Amino acid sequence: MIRWRYGTVTGVRGGWRGCTELEVDVEAREGEDAFSCRGLAYDELVGTPEAGDRVLLNCNAIAKGLGTGGYALVIAVPDRLPADVEGPGHIVKARYTPMQAMRLAVDEDDSPHRAAVEACEDLGGMPVVVADLHSALAPVLAGVHATAPDAKVAYVMTDGGALPAWFSRQLDQLSDRICTVVTAGQCFGGDLEATNIHNALIAARVVGGADIAIVAQGPGNLGTGTVWGFSGTAAGEAVNAAAVLGGRPVASLRISEGDARERHRGISHHSMTAYGKVALAAADIPVPDELPADLEAKIRAQLAELPERHRQIEIDCSGLAEAMEALPVKLSTMGRGLDRDRVYFIAEAAAGRHAAQIAKRRD
């Protein structure tokens, strides 16, 4: 299950908030040569490795050639353990794994925010943009701020992808555009921690002061190519959570013109399943007014298959491409940028624009 290896840190490549990126020489094992690779350490979990440190590694991602998570992950620096951290927090995340972490959640007894969270009965119509992939975060933000520049946006990270929020470079690069990051369920490492998506949305509103929340999994979507076998089913569950809390669910469409897999061309089967079968509550479904000519008929036919309870709203997308190009992050989904899959990013930005328009009407 785990490819355990010892290695030695030969250099520090850099890092971002919560992470240190390393160069590591991995020791040989019987039947395997030594090799060098990139390593990644989560500073709060294992400390900050330095050149010369011997490290214990999980090399599964290297062996499997994973893209998003293609690092040898540092499990421990055995000869230089980090100091114990004392303080409040009794919520265990990544539960019953060797890396389980104690965190202070907004909804536990020791939290200074517990009373506010417990007293909140309603999100007051706050728009909640729901997306399938982590790569949607940047374009949704661009759509929001192109329409309502002063809107305060929270990101609620769900646990279908990476569990540590620190893994996302985008969160570091977009930190000045996000008022708070709330890690829900088994995720951890956000500005705020929550037991589940419901209290995460409440915390975004009453603790973070958000006008809009974006809900999406962390980097590293899981999919098996089967109807139900993908982590994005959580998008439908997020629609239900936002609705039951009195928010305004905004279901962003995952649309692609660049994906070679037929199940993702046009509207992805992920969106069709999440919003067509999992989401039992009504949601706004923003539809961009610019669609690829060769896919428009297919997309319109797919939209007609979605339940009538959802409200399909055509969105003027003028200026959204320019807003995305001005972001401090490189747009990428499955290795494709704006030039190779324009409609994916435009559709996500359209959802952000629609949420901003709702928020402006609420002011």
- Interval 298-323: pLDDT, tens: 999 999 999 999 999 999 999 999 99
Instruction: Write out the residue range of the structural domain in which residue 42 sits.
Output: 4-76
- Looking at 48, 76, 104, which one is the last position of a domain? 76
Q: Give the pLDDT of residue 212.
A: 98
Same domain, residue pair 274 and 356 = yes
Percent of the chain with pLDDT over 70: 99
126 with 198, same domain: the answer is: yes
Q: How many CA atoms lie within 13 A of 182 on its CB side?
A: 31
Q: Are 134 and 216 in contact (CB under 8 A)?
A: yes
The model's confidence at residue 232, banded by pLDDT at 50, 70 and 90, is very high
pLDDT for 66 beyond 80: no
Residues 237 and 310 in one domain: yes
Q: How far is CA 246 from CA 121, 204, 238, 243, 278, in A?
A: 8, 14, 12, 5, 18
Q: Are residues 134 and 267 in the same domain?
A: yes
* Section 228-251 average pLDDT: 97
pLDDT at residue 21 in the model: 97
Domain count along the chain: 2
**Over the stretch 12-33, which tens digit does the pLDDT of each residue have?**
999 999 999 999 999 999 888 9
Q: What are phi and psi of 132, to 5 degrees?
A: -75, -45
Structure tokens, 76: 């421990």
Condensed to tens digits (0 to 9), the pLDDT of residues 97-127 reads 989 999 999 999 999 999 999 999 899 999 9
- What residue type is 165 in one-letter code? A
Q: What is the pLDDT of residue 221?
A: 87
Instruction: Find the DSSP H helices in 245-341.
Output: 269-273, 296-305, 320-325
Q: Is the pLDDT of residue 347 over 70?
A: yes
Query: CA 69 to CA 71: how far, in whole Å?
Result: 6
| In the predicted structure, residue 363 carries a pLDDT above the cut 80 | no
- Domain contains 302: yes
Helix 342-362 crosses helix 137-147 at what angle (to 10 degrees)?
Answer: 50
Which of these ranges, 30-34, 179-183, 192-196, 336-340, has the smallest mean pLDDT?
30-34
Q: Is there a single domain that holds both residue 69 and residue 128?
A: no
- On whether both 252 and 320 belong to a single domain, the answer is yes
In a domain, 95, yes or no: no
What is the pLDDT at residue 261? 93
The mean pLDDT value for 192-216 works out to 98
- Residue after which a domain boundary falls, among 57, 76, 95: 76
**Structure tokens given for 254:** 């995952």
Question: Tokens at residue 97, please?
Answer: 């794994």
Question: What is the four-CA torsion angle of 286, 351, 325, 205, rounded to 10 degrees?
Answer: 170
pLDDT tens-place string over residues 120-178: 989 999 999 999 999 999 999 999 999 999 999 999 999 999 999 999 999 999 999 99
Question: Which of 147, 182, 173 is CA-nearest to residue 286?
Answer: 147
**Mean pLDDT throughout 36-48?**
96
> Is 83 within the bounds of a domain?
no
| Same domain assignment for residues 72 and 130 | no
Q: Quick check: is 325 in a domain?
A: yes
Give the Cα separation of 51 and 21 in Å (integer).
11
In the prediction, which pLDDT does 67 show? 64
> Across the chain, where does the E strand assignment appear?
4-16, 19-26, 35-42, 54-58, 72-76, 91-93, 101-103, 127-130, 153-158, 180-184, 192-194, 212-217, 248-251, 255-256, 266-267, 284-288, 311-315
User: Which among 260, 262, 311, 320 has a CA at the least distance from the CA of 287?
Assistant: 311
Identify whether residues 133 and 268 lie together within a single domain: yes
pLDDT bracket for residue 56 (50, 70, 90): very high
For residue 286, what is the domain's CATH number? 3.40.50
Does one domain contain both 136 and 72? no
Q: Which of 281, 180, 209, 207 is nearest to 238 (CA)?
A: 281
Q: Which tokens is 224 given?
A: 């098996």
Model pTM?
0.96
Asked if residue 355 and residue 300 are part of one domain, the reply reads yes
Determine, yes or no, domain membership for 300. Answer: yes
pLDDT of residue 69: 65
Considering only CA atoms, which of 114, 203, 198 is closest in space to residue 158? 198
Q: What mean pLDDT, rounded, does the chain reach?
A: 95
Domain boundary, last residue among 76, 100, 132? 76
Range 249-275 burial, b when 16+ CB lie within 10 A, else e: bbbbbbbbbbbeeeebbbbbbbbbbbb
Q: Are residues 212 and 305 in the same domain?
A: yes
Residue 269 banded pLDDT, cuts 50, 70, 90:
very high
Scanning the structure block, which residue is given the tokens 């540092």? 74
Q: What was the pLDDT predicted at 64?
A: 83
Contact indicator for 213, 154 with CB cutoff of 8 Å: yes
Q: What is the pLDDT of residue 85?
A: 84
User: In this structure, are 20 and 169 located in the same domain?
Assistant: no
The reply to whether 103 falls in a domain is no
Span 251-275, mean pLDDT? 95
CA–CA gap between residue 184 and residue 197 (Å, rounded): 5
- The strand pair at 127-130 and 212-217 is best described as parallel
108 falls within a domain: no
Looking at residue 29, which CATH number applies to its domain?
Answer: 2.40.50
Residue 90 lies in a domain: no
- Residue 74, both tokens: 């540092």
